[in-house]
Chain A
Amino acid sequence: MLEVRNITISYGKTAVLKDVSFGLNNGEIIAVLGANGAGKTTLIRALNGTLPVSKGEILLDGKPFGSFSRRQIAQKIAVVAQENETKFPVTVREFVLSGRFARGTAFGWETRDDLRIAENALQNCDLSNYSGRLMNELSGGERQRVVLARALATDAGILMLDEPTANLDLAHQGMMFRLVRERCKNDDCSAIIITHDLNLASEFADQIVLLKDGKFFAKGTPKEILRPENLNGVFDVKVLLDENPVSGKVRVTTIY
C-alpha cells in the first residue's frame, strides 16, 4: 500500500530525517517509536504529503505521491493528529462529518450514507451521546476520540496516528488500539502509529520501526525490536522484559 524508499526530509539545510525506508502492507500496523525529536512526526507529515521529500521517494499503491491530487491522497490516507482547539462552535457530528470531505463534492450537503457512516464511527468510539455537543465543551480525551472517529469516517485505507493515546484514560487507550486493530483485520486497511507506549505497541503492532536522531535504527516484529540493547540505544534507559501473562506478548518495564 505504501512504500518508503530512502527518504530524507530537510528543514532548510538541516536534514531531520535521513535515509529511511520501510513498507506498509495491507492489514498491517506499524508502530514508530523513538525519543523526542527523533523525527517521528516529521515522518508522518512526509507520508501524508504535507512535507516535501528532499531525497528518495514515497509510493502510494505503487505510484509516486506527485501523481495524486490532495483529494485523492485524503481518500487513501487519514491522519489522527494532535487535536487543535477550535474557536468556533463546531458540534461533534459536524466535526466527524468533515472527514467525509474528500468523498463528496466540494459543494453541497452530505448524503444519507455520509451521515450513517459518521454516526457509526461515533458509536464505535463510544461517542453516541456526544453528537450534538460542542467540541470546545469536551475534555482532551473526549476530543481525541472524536478526532479518531473523524479519521474512521473517511473510509481511508491507511490510518496515520500521531500519539493517539496522549490524552486518553487507560480504558480508552485500549479501545483506540483495538479499534484500529479491528479495522485493519476486517477491512482493506493498514495503520502507522506513533506512540511512546512500548507495551501498547507490543500488544497491537505487527512491526516496529525505531528511529534515533532522524535515522532508521531498527525494524522488525515487536519480539525482535523490543530488546534491552535496542531500547537502551534509542531511549538511553534500562528495561526489564518479560511476557504478558494474558496475551503472551513482550512486556516492557522501565527501570528508573
Chain B
Amino acid sequence: MSSGLSNNRIKPPATACGSDRSLRLGGSLILLLLITLLAAALLGSERLSFFDLNDQQRSILFDIRLPRILLGACVGASLAVAGAGLQALLRNPLAEPYLLGVSNGAALGTMLAFAFFESWSFARPIFAFAGAGIATFAVYQMAKGRAGMNVERLVLSGVIVTTFLSSIIVLLTSLLDAAKLRGFTFWLLGDLSQATIDGFYFTLAAAVVGTIVLSSQAKALNLMMIGERDAFDFGVEVGRVRIIVFSLSSILVGTAVAASGSVGYVGLIVPHLVRLAIGSDNRLVVPFSAISGAIFVVLADTVARTAIAPRELPVGAITALIGAPLFIYLLKRS
C-alpha cells in the first residue's frame, strides 16, 4: 500500500540515531576499554612494565593478572547487558538481576555446586545458570495473574524470591566452618581472585552470545519499553521476546555469578549512565552497556587489588561503594 504521507517535502536526517555522535562515542568507549585493560594489567601489588619482564613477572601477568582482568571485563559486560535487557523489558529503570532474584538464584546454585560437586569445574556455571533460571521461572510464574502479567506484580514477586533465596544462602552459610565462611562471604560480595582461563572462556562466550542475541531484540525492546500492549499492537511477539530476555539474563548472570560471585550495581548503574549519554535506543544501549560494564568492573577490580595491597578487597564492595552514591546522585538529578 502506498503511503499517504509520501510527499518529499522534508529532508530526513542522515540516520535514525544521530549516528555520527554515537559512532564517535562507541569508538571512544572501545579505546577507553583498551586503555583500562592495559593499565589494569600493569598495576597491582607488583608493578609491571610490558618490556623487560622476568619469568616471575611474566607468570604474574599471563597466568594471574590477565585472566582476572579479562574475566572482570566479561563479568561487567554480562551484568550490564542483563540489566539493560531487564530494564527495557520491565519498563523500570530500577530493575536489575538482583531485584528479580536472578543473582541470588545463581549464587545459591553456585553454593550448591561448591558444596556437592567441587571437583567438577563446569558444575559452578551450570548450577548458577540453573539457579538463575529457576529463580526467573519462579518469579515469572508468581507474577502471572489471570489477566496476564504486569510489571508491579513481577517486581513484587522478584523481591519475595530474592528475600527467600537470601535466607537460604544465610542458612547455608551459617552451617559452614570458619575457614570456608570467610571465603564464601568474600565470594558473595564479588571476588575475581579465583579467575582461571577456563572460567574466562566460559564467561566470554556467554557475554558475546548474550550481547549479540539481546542486540537482535533491541528494536522490539524499544517498543516494549513504551508498553507491552503498544509493542503487541505494533507487531512485537511479546511472549517470545520476554522468554528470550529472561533466558539470556539467566545465562549472563549465571555465568557471571559463578565466576565472580555477586558483583552488585553493575546491571543498575551502567545502563542508566549509558542512557544518559546516548538516549534510550536499545540498539545502542545494549552494546554500549557491554563495553561500559567491562570498563566499570575492571576499574573497580583494579582498585580492589591495589587499594590495600598486598591484601585485597572484594570487587563487589567497590562497585557498591561507587554505585550506590552515584545512583542516588543520578536519581536526584533526574
- Chain A interfacial positions (CB closer than 8 Å to B): 11-12, 48, 50, 70-71, 73-75, 78-79, 81, 84, 86-91, 94-95, 97-99, 101-102, 104, 106-110, 112, 114-117, 119-121, 123-124, 128, 150, 152-155, 157, 182-183, 186-189
Complex alpha-carbon distance, A48 and B7, angstroms: 29
B232 interface hit (Cβ, 8 Å): yes
Q: Would A115 and B232 count as touching, CB distance under 8 A?
A: no
Contacts of A89 in B (CB 8 A): 275, 279-280
Contacts of A182 in B (CB 8 A): 4
New contact pairs (17) apart from A74-B234, A81-B233, A183-B4, CB-CB < 8 Å: A50-B232, A70-B232, A89-B280, A90-B280, A91-B279, A98-B223, A101-B235, A102-B235, A109-B16, A110-B16, A117-B6, A120-B3, A152-B5, A155-B1, A155-B2, A155-B3, A186-B4
Q: List 23 A-B contacts (CB under 8 A).
A: A48-B233, A50-B233, A74-B233, A74-B234, A79-B233, A81-B229, A86-B225, A88-B91, A97-B16, A98-B226, A101-B220, A101-B223, A101-B236, A107-B219, A109-B16, A117-B3, A117-B6, A119-B10, A120-B3, A120-B6, A120-B9, A152-B5, A188-B2
- Chain B interfacial positions (CB closer than 8 Å to A): 1-10, 12-13, 15-17, 19, 88, 91-93, 146-147, 215-220, 222-223, 225-227, 229-230, 232-237, 275, 279-281, 283
Complex alpha-carbon distance, A183 and B1, angstroms: 12
Contacts of B3 in A (CB 8 A): 117, 120, 155, 187
Complex alpha-carbon distance, A119 and B12, angstroms: 7
The list of the 8 closest CB pairs from A to B, nearest first, reads: A74-B235, A102-B235, A115-B12, A120-B5, A84-B227, A187-B4, A119-B10, A110-B16
Complex alpha-carbon distance, A95 and B8, angstroms: 21
Chain A CB count within 10 A is highest, among B1, B5, B215, B217, for: B5
Complex alpha-carbon distance, A152 and B4, angstroms: 9
Contacts of A117 in B (CB 8 A): 3, 5-6
Q: Would B233 and A116 count as touching, CB distance under 8 A?
A: no
Contacts of B7 in A (CB 8 A): 120
Q: Would B235 and A71 count as touching, CB distance under 8 A?
A: yes
Q: Would B9 and A73 count as touching, CB distance under 8 A?
A: no
Contacts of A157 in B (CB 8 A): 1
Chain A residue nearest in CB terms to B13: A115
Choose from A78, A95, A187 the contact partner of B226 (Cβ within 8 Å): A95
Q: Give the total number of A-B pairs whose CB atoms are below 8 A apart.
A: 129
Contacts of B13 in A (CB 8 A): 115
Complex alpha-carbon distance, A50 and B229, angstroms: 8
Contacts of B234 in A (CB 8 A): 74, 78, 98-99, 101-102, 150, 154
Complex alpha-carbon distance, A1 and B8, angstroms: 29
Choose from B5, B88, B237, B279 the contact partner of A70 (Cβ within 8 Å): B237
Chain B residue nearest in CB terms to A11: B147
Complex alpha-carbon distance, A119 and B107, angstroms: 49
Closest CB in chain B relative to A3 CB, distance in Å: 19
Contacts of B217 in A (CB 8 A): 106
Closest CB in chain B relative to A80 CB, distance in Å: 9
Q: Would B235 and A187 count as touching, CB distance under 8 A?
A: no
Complex alpha-carbon distance, A107 and B227, angstroms: 19
Contacts of B225 in A (CB 8 A): 86, 88, 90
Contacts of A87 in B (CB 8 A): 91-93
Closest CB in chain B relative to A185 CB, distance in Å: 9
Choose from B215, B237, B275, B280 the contact partner of A94 (Cβ within 8 Å): B280
Chain B residue nearest in CB terms to A80: B233
Complex alpha-carbon distance, A110 and B14, angstroms: 11
Contacts of B280 in A (CB 8 A): 88-90, 94
Choose from B1, B92, B237, B283 the contact partner of A109 (Cβ within 8 Å): B283
Complex alpha-carbon distance, A84 and B16, angstroms: 23
Q: Would B93 and A88 count as touching, CB distance under 8 A?
A: yes
Contacts of B220 in A (CB 8 A): 101, 106
* Known A-B contacts A94-B279, A94-B281, A98-B222; A116 and B236 likewise in contact (beta carbons under 8 Å): no
Choose from A70, A90, A101, A153 the contact partner of B219 (Cβ within 8 Å): A101
